[in-house]
Amino acid sequence: MEVLSTIERKTPNKYPIGVGLRPFVKPECLHARPGDLIEIDRTIFAEWGLYFGKGEVVLLGGDLMIGRTTSTKVVKRKLTDMGNVLVRVNNKKVPAKNRSLISLKAKTIIQNVNKLIGKTVEYNILSKNSEHYVTEWKYGHGWSDQSRTALQSMTIFSTPPSPKDAGIAHEQLSESIKSILQTQNSIEDLQSSGAGT
């Protein structure tokens, strides 16, 4: 199996090492290499995928914001079919280093992920979300910084959920995110119709 296309092998990295995170760009402008983690901006949370090569990304499929979702499929999609989103390469090198983790080789990552495409996997917005999966695929150990932040926020504003209440916490957070997104969409609709001026 050819992992890197000729173009991807010869394409230099446009961003020098040490400059921090790359900016978000339209999917067709993304410069990624197989095995890179792709952060997909979804307004108040990030969806995550793993760059497979030739403009394709492997990620979790389905409507993951439905509170009762407990499983989903691993799918491969063209980045340009992701809709009106912004994306960037974010290999989470600092969090990985803080955990004493190093990336698996790109060829190994792609071979392992290729075996998962089409498989059903467990899903929970707090304990097994797309960020957990892509970091596990790349580093062999999964984690989610945005889940940690969400749990910390839930602790500040309410009683923290216990580990055995993960399903309830998942539903509460999902409903909160949906409510915020619906409010934002309503504001944008008002602004575009001129009613908000």
Q: What's the confidence (pLDDT) of residue 135?
A: 97
Q: What's the confidence (pLDDT) of residue 8?
A: 44
176 contacts: CB under 8 Å, gap ≥ 6: none
pLDDT-flagged residues of the chain (< 70) = 1-20, 62-69, 150-197
Q: What's the confidence (pLDDT) of residue 12?
A: 47
Q: What's the confidence (pLDDT) of residue 3?
A: 46
Geometric angle at alpha carbon 51, from 48 and 53, rounded to 5°: 160
Q: What's the confidence (pLDDT) of residue 74?
A: 96
Locate tokens 């890197």: which residue?
A: 4
pTM of the model: 0.70
Q: What's the confidence (pLDDT) of residue 5?
A: 43
**Residue 48, both tokens:** 């995550």
Write the CA distances from 52 to 60, 137, 142, integer angstroms.
14, 12, 18
User: H or E stretch including 77?
Assistant: strand 71-78
